[in-house]
Structure 1
Amino acid sequence: MSVYPIKVHSISLDHRGGTKSYHLMMIRAANGNTVVVYRWGKTGVFGEVKIETYDGPIKAQKGWDKKEREKTNNGYSQTGPAVEKTANDASELMAAIGRNMFAKLGASNVKHLDPSFDTNGMREADDPQYDEETGKKLDTARRMDLAALLEEQKLKEAAEIAAAYEVNDLYGRF
């Protein structure tokens, strides 16, 4: 049985204060294997990611509904319509999920959706960690450090501004 088409359903929620956002993404293969991605953080920042895999769409939908209900009860509301995308083959999968999110999925989660997908060179998602005393699963969400990226962007903008002033012969005359 083919795993395609793979359907991607996502929604975005913003907190009523406007400074926090939460994103839910469900990626469902035709064979029922499902990956649910939870992403949260300050508005405008990629933030933290938590990924859960399911062997069936019913359990995945229950997890999705529970998280959506929890967020709406805590002051979040949906911004914009739900986004539906479909990948009909392996070449469309990255575009349907999104390049940044696809990089965060990890090879095992991509293999969960499509066992024949070439994951050579993909990094693996972080393994779950457990508390030694209680045995409970620890929250090990990935955090993306944007400081270097923002600094590089500021330097690039400063260079563009300086170049614009150099070519402007009226600069400094007034």
Structure 2
Amino acid sequence: MKIPDTFTAGTTFRLRAGTGTILLLRGSCSADLRAGDDGFIVASASETAQWAPGSVAFSLRKMAQNGDVVEVLNGFMTILPDIASLPAGADTRSQNRRTYDAICAVIENRASRDQESYKIGNRELKRMPVSDLLKLRAQYASFVAQENGRGGLIEHRVRF
């Protein structure tokens, strides 16, 4: 038996766990799910639609006949949003993708500027060197590629 790493809210959750088991979820949502007589833990799509997206800790526990409670499995799972409940125009990019896109925008904007710093009176502005931005972009490109299940780097929109 394996608890999934991710689960999409608004869909049916079904796990074969055996009779006498309970799955506890705590974090972005909270649920106590007990196995039925058939040994399946089930949460309907209407139940999971109420689960807030984010990280949850889980504990799968087995109730022994002598009254003992044994933790069989524990860990973390990510609840993904139910896209049916998202409004039109919702930004569904991951945090890594939003950061990558922002770095690319800074690089693109920087292409038309020739100074990294300037001073007016007692005020001074220093910009991150383009070489540092390129390194940061490559790092976030790698994160995004991993999220997308690809091992290679994503293609860059701006090149120097």
Q: What's the TM-score, normalizing by structure 1? A: 0.27
Q: Higher relative CO (CA 8 A, sep ≥ 6), structure 1 or 2? A: 1
Q: TM-score, normalised by structure 2?
A: 0.28
Which of structures 1 and 2 has the bigger CA Rg?
2
Q: Identify, as 1 or 2, the structure richer in strand.
A: 2
Q: Which has the higher helix share?
A: 1
